[in-house]
Each structure stands twice: as structure tokens, then as C-alpha cells.
Amino acid sequence: MKTRIKLSLVLILMSLILVYLGINLAVSEENFATKSKGPSEYEKIWSESWDDGMWKAKKEKKPVIVDFYTTWCGPCKAMDKNVFSDQEIQKRLAKDWVCIKVDCDDRLAYGTYDGKTMNYSELSNYFRVHSIPTFLFIEKEGKIVQKFSGYHEKEEFGHIIDYMKDELYKKGVKFKDYKESKKTSGI
């Protein structure tokens, strides 16, 4: 009788192990299939290389948005999930901007600005990034224009990129006033 119980327990245990292994194999195959489809639209838009992004901006004569973030930052993750994953925002970014992501904690990746080569942590300090996420806007000519910090809902971030793209700061229009005009006009 004891042998029969032991045998039953062994069979149950082996069945559970096989089910567990089968589930993990299915998940691994699904992840592999997803990863092998190539880069997502998001990955095509955002460069994680400062120098590649700056070179592309110069070549294409486009302004730059730099997203200073960290891997542990909740609002940064929310921007990725709720704003940057939006197809309309992606289209606008791809059309009008070169986008670069800089991990403020990364001491192994380097970028060059104004003749100085710095790791990403130093680059963050150079641009006085004191809170994350921070979005740095750079004109086509390479001049730093403005920074916006913190989480922004999709609509507000759309206003920010329109304001910067249209270079309204050069016309003396303050972003606060621009944003208010969008609210009152219903746009």
C-alpha cells in the first residue's frame, strides 16, 4: 500500500513538472517569436546612442528630443507606456524629430556634446537634469532650447512637441500661454 502511494505521488510530481516545463517552453517560444519580428515602431524612433542620434539629426536637419530617464523611474515607464507607445505621437515624433533616450544612471555609454565626451551620467549632469523624466529640446543647429520635466499626459506632450516644432519660443510665445490657447480653442 505504501509503495502504491509513493508511486502515485511520484507520478503526480512528475506530471506537475512536465506541465510547468511545457508552459515555460510555450512562453519562451512566444517571446522568441515576438522578438524575432524586428524592432517595434517605438524602437525605430528612439535611439539609445547619443552620438548616432546627434549625427542623424545633423544629416536629416531635424531638431532633437532627448529623454533623460532611469530604469527605476515610475513616471519614465509611464511615459513609455502611455505616451510614447501611442501611434499618433509616434508618427509625429518620427516625422519631425530625432529622438534619443539617455539613461541617467549609465556610466558605460558615452556621448559627445560641445567637444566634450561624457558618460550618460555625466551628460545628465552637464545638462543639469535634476528630475526625471526630463525632455531636452535641441534645435536643428545644435543649440539647446528648452527642458520640460516630469510626466506629461499624451495631449500635453503633443502640445509640447508642436510648440517646440513650430519654434514659438522664438516668437516670444510662452508655453503656458500656448497651452491655454489650445484649451480654449478646443484643439
Which residues are CB-neighbours of 64 under 8 A, at least 6 positions away?
A: 53, 54, 57, 97, 98, 99, 100, 136, 137, 138
Distance between CA 71 and CA 17 in Å, rounded? 34
pLDDT, residue 181, reads: 86
pLDDT of amino acid 17: 58
pLDDT for the residue 182: 80
Residue 143 pLDDT: 93
Q: What is the pLDDT of residue 85?
A: 94
- pLDDT value of residue 39: 54
pTM here is 0.75
Pick among 3.30.360.10, 2.60.40.10, 3.80.10.10, 3.40.30.10: CATH of 41-185: 3.40.30.10
Read out DSSP for 56-106? Answer: HHHHHT--EEEEEE-TT-HHHHHIIIIIIT-HHHHHHHHHH-EEEEEETT-
How is residue 127 written as a grid cell? Answer: 545638462
Residue 44 confidence (pLDDT): 82
- Residue-by-residue pLDDT tens, the chain, 187 positions: 667 776 666 556 566 555 555 544 444 444 444 454 555 666 789 999 999 999 999 999 999 999 999 999 999 999 999 999 999 999 999 999 999 999 999 999 999 999 999 999 999 999 999 999 999 999 998 999 999 999 999 999 999 999 999 999 999 999 998 988 887 665 5
